[in-house]
Structure 1
Amino acid sequence: MIMEKEVKASSGYTMLFVLLVLIAATIIGIIMTMNPLFLLLIPVILLIMVGFFIVNPNSSKVLVLFGAYKGTVKENGFFWANPFYRKIKISLRARNFDSERVKVNDKIGNPILINVILVWQVQDTYKSAFDVDNYVEFVRVQTDAAVRKLAGSYPYDNFDDEQAELTLRSGMDEVNEALETEITERLAIAGIKVMEARIGYLAYAPEIASAMLKRQQAVAIVAARKKIVEGAVGMVEDALTQLSEDNIIDFDDDKRASMVSNLMVVLCGDKEAIPVVNAGTLNG
């Protein structure tokens, strides 16, 4: 299996000096001797000029000679190489990819909208240049495929018990880790290093968003009511116990039931309680 091979090219400044000397020699020779043989130096000059290239920071040049991979120049600077080399530029900079929002079904079949934010860079220039047709397009397509697979592996949410199962909404750290692993495996063939992958947008599809919002609100209301009732029961119990211990009032079963009923109504009601003055006895 062929892997990336980093090579060092010749200094471009040395060959530039040689080029200038040849140009000067050609011009002087033609002018002073009128010898047409000096014209033969022109193709040599042109070939030398083709060999110059520049490698910018965080960039590289893949050198190919008649279909044979000869190496990759990653060092920054001004260089010269065999004029017959084909020089393929590949950027080594980190890149951001914000995928389009795609509609997919989650694990339980609910349509959702999801996209991913990916930070990647080329790690192996040979694989990026020769193992795939277009490595940028390869990143886009494989990331989209990984997102679709991930969305189908987890439910969007679990209303019955949020701790019972990992979901896209509640288990974001675990889901992002699984997403990064999946994308890393897919992009390895192209020599791509995944620096970060995470879900950037997550929501129900418009056709069910309204119904799911109502369901979420209902679950929240039920949970809130449950907490209110639990708190009210504790407060009523404390009140009855305190009244009995301080001998403020003696409760029979009817009085206790009436007191509990009134306190629960006051504590659990949505509206403020309206007091009613009892002009008779407690049982009147």
Structure 2
Amino acid sequence: MERRAFRTSGFAVLVVLVLLGAAAAAAGWTTAGVEGAAAAAVAWAVVAIVVMTGCTVINPNEAKVVQFLGRYVGTVNQAGFQWVLPFTSKKRVTLRVRNFETAKLKVNDADGSPVEIAAVVVYRVTDTAKAAFSVDDYEEYVAIQSEAAVRHLATSHPYDAHDEGRTSLRDGAEVAVELTAELSDRTQLAGVEVLEARITHLAYAPEIAQAMLVRQQATQVVAARTHIVAGAVGMVQLALNKLREEDVVELDEERKAQMVSNLLVVLCGDRATQPVVNAGSLYG
């Protein structure tokens, strides 16, 4: 787990070093003249070199993971010129929000149809200790886990939901929430927070794209025809009720059937109809 390392201002340390150097030189000169001042200067230089090994510069939205002889000491994330313990190693970890897009993956969806899918992932490091020590390379880890999560998502849902109430890959908002949640679980080990994950590319594989396009067109035609027929039946029922309520004409069952047939042809046809005037009797 991440913890804060001891740190202080690097400029304050420099001021202290300068004052100590001046005091040491003055004391050496007073006690032993030139030789004493030279010895004090050499001693001060050694101390300064040791102390300066603890100085480091930290940029905004950046942290340094501090180690002393292989032991994790803590993390410093205050921007500026800072000083930590001497003889420590300092590993840079960025805290900026980062994003990347996965490669286009070819997988089979829940219905077994090959699809091409890609996603963009937005994340940031929230635990520098885990990011530095739990995995070899947290950026590569996030990239690999993202591809694995996208593959799992594609195999869990169909490209198109033909059954009502079933989530498909084309349901952008629901799929994004599910992908973000799965990625958050996968990357928690690396101290990474996934802010957002969304599908950026979704298409049938080229070898079945044409066949699936025909299928989609047929589905849309059937849905449109179903809607037209439902509306036509309602209009025919309304016409018959109006004729009966206003006593316009008395129709027997055979005439009603003929009228219903004519109205459905007019209302459901995809081309303009040509009226035919019957001057004789319906019964010949």
1:124 is aligned to 2:122: no
Q: Sequence identity, in percent? A: 48
What is the identity, as a one-letter code, of the residue corresponding to 1:106? D
Structure 1 residues 132-176: Cα deviation after superposition (integer angstroms, max 9, x where no partner) = 1111111111111111112111222232x232x332224x44433
Alignment match, 2:53: 50
Partner Cα separation in structure 1 for residue 124 and residue 93 of structure 2: 10
Partner Cα separation in structure 1 for residue 157 and residue 140 of structure 2: 27
Q: Secondary structure at the match of 2:152?
A: helix
1:96 is aligned to 2:99: yes
Partner Cα separation in structure 1 for residue 21 and residue 98 of structure 2: 43
- 1:87 aligned residue (90, 100, 107): 90
Alignment match, 1:167: 168
Alignment match, 2:8: 10
Q: Do 2:115 and 2:202's aligned partners in 1 also have CA atoms closer than 8 Å?
A: yes
- CA apart distance, 1:247: 2.9
Structure 1 residues 199-246: Cα deviation after superposition (integer angstroms, max 9, x where no partner) = 233222222222112111111111111111111112112212322333
Question: Aligned runs of 1:188-267 on 2, under 5 Å?
Answer: 188-267=188-267
What is the identity, as a one-letter code, of the residue corresponding to 2:59? N
1:33 is aligned to 2:31: no
Deviates more, 1:181-190 or 1:20-29: 20-29
- CA apart distance, 1:21: 4.7
Q: Do 2:5 and 2:66's aligned partners in 1 also have CA atoms closer than 8 Å?
A: no
Deviates more, 1:19-28 or 1:113-122: 19-28
What is the identity, as a one-letter code, of the residue corresponding to 1:239? A
Q: Do 1:111 and 1:204's aligned partners in 2 also have CA atoms closer than 8 Å?
A: yes
Alignment match, 2:76: 73
Q: Secondary structure at the match of 1:148?
A: helix
What is the identity, as a one-letter code, of the residue corresponding to 2:4? E
TM-score, normalised to structure 1, is 0.87
Structure 1 residues 13-70: Cα deviation after superposition (integer angstroms, max 9, x where no partner) = 111123445677899999x937764445444433333322122222111111111111
Q: Secondary structure at the match of 2:187?
A: helix
- 1:147 aligned residue (145, 150, 169): 150
Partner Cα separation in structure 2 for residue 147 and residue 43 of structure 1: 56
Unmatched segments (≥5 aa) in structure 1: none
What is the identity, as a one-letter code, of the residue corresponding to 1:162? E
Q: Do 1:106 and 1:156's aligned partners in 2 also have CA atoms closer than 8 Å?
A: yes
Q: Secondary structure at the match of 1:152?
A: helix
- CA apart distance, 1:259: 1.5
Q: Secondary structure at the match of 1:7?
A: coil
Unmatched segments (≥5 aa) in structure 2: none
What is the identity, as a one-letter code, of the residue corresponding to 2:127? D
Paired positions, count: 278
What is the identity, as a one-letter code, of the residue corresponding to 1:152? T
Distance of aligned partners of 1:257 and 1:179 in 2 relative to their CA distance in 1, 3 Å threshold: same
Q: Do 1:255 and 1:283's aligned partners in 2 also have CA atoms closer than 8 Å?
A: no
Q: Do 1:99 and 1:116's aligned partners in 2 also have CA atoms closer than 8 Å?
A: yes
Partner Cα separation in structure 1 for residue 143 and residue 21 of structure 2: 48
Q: Secondary structure at the match of 1:166?
A: coil
Backbone CA RMSD of aligned residues: 2.6
Partner Cα separation in structure 1 for residue 246 and residue 134 of structure 2: 86
